[in-house]
Amino acid sequence: MSVVRYDISDGGALLTEGKSEEKAYRWYHMNYSVDEDRDWLSSRKDINDLFKEQLLKAETRPTFYQEESSILVCLRGVNLDPESAPEDMISIRLWMNQDTVITSTNRNSLSLQDIHKSLQNSLGPKSPGEFVAILIERLALRIEEFFEQFEEELDRQEDNIEQADSREAGVDLGGLRRQAATVKRYLTPQKEALDKLQRTDSRLFSPQALENMKDDRDKFARLLEDLELSRERSMALQEQLLARIGYEQNNRLYVLAIISAIFLPLTFLSGLLGMNVAGLPGTEDSYAFWIVSGICLLIGIGLMFWFKYKKWY
């Protein structure tokens, strides 16, 4: 079984793993994709069936549930693993009561790792309510880090949009738009869940923890606004890129149209003189070919000067 138990002291220190000692609260961390962990959670009598279902679901949206003595929060965090896409967001489910915290994920979470390290250094959360507040703070910091990288990439695209290869730039901008849309899809309900959480009257949260969560909720709201602005910037860049591509295509078509206009009368003249019928002039004249070639050359040069005079190119 992969469930890990941490006993947390009153000072916020991690006392033991897997041993029952005097503690402030107990933290269990489980992987909801492991059958043994699912069986362990199903056997617990202190969690109702609705909360168990949410802790074990393969896919959840950020949400908040509350009953008299416990709380369930489903959150999302950006995936900053170098081998993963940031928009492939990690689902973190957390259930807690007065003396127990259960976190459920199927992948490594840097935010939970931060809490574990702080507990090892006796600097971690001293209560379940503080645990939730710190987890939300760490998730907000990770999303800010993602957004800074997103903004840097968007600035780079803006600086190079005129010189960049159209196909590569189009792929990059499309990727940025997908990232922004996916992150926004989860951050919007997450902000709403944090609104409900911040207004809770549960005694599991201290006034300081609620105040900290209010600040983080405001941070999520600002990030959503900035993300929407960045998404609009990426859309404007993509429109600018499409306009540039259209302008280049029109220029090429215009050059082809000019060439076609120049060769149209020459093609007519060569076709007319190429008919195999009696009576064609110059068939017996040894200079006829050069005369016709000279006439074609003069027509071509004349048309070029005419187009230049008309400012058609």
In tens, the pLDDT along 25-81 reads: 999 999 999 999 999 999 998 899 999 999 998 888 889 999 888 999 999 888 776
CB of 133 within 8 A of CB of 125?
Answer: yes
Global model pTM greater than 0.85: no
- Determine whether domain 4-245 maps to CATH 3.30.460.20: yes
The residue ranges of the chain whose pLDDT is under 50 are 20
pLDDT of residue 198: 83
pLDDT of residue 101: 94
pLDDT of residue 274: 79
* 62/284 Cα distance (integer angstroms): 92
Q: Tell me the CA distances in angstroms from 60 to 37, 44, 73, 104, 192, one per residue in order.
A: 18, 21, 11, 12, 15
DSSP letter (8 states) at residue 242: H
CB of 131 within 8 A of CB of 211?
Answer: no
Average pLDDT, the chain: 83
pLDDT of residue 84: 65
pLDDT of residue 82: 62
CB of 177 within 8 A of CB of 235?
Answer: yes
pLDDT of residue 56: 92
Q: Which stretches of 201-287 are DSSP H helices?
A: 207-273
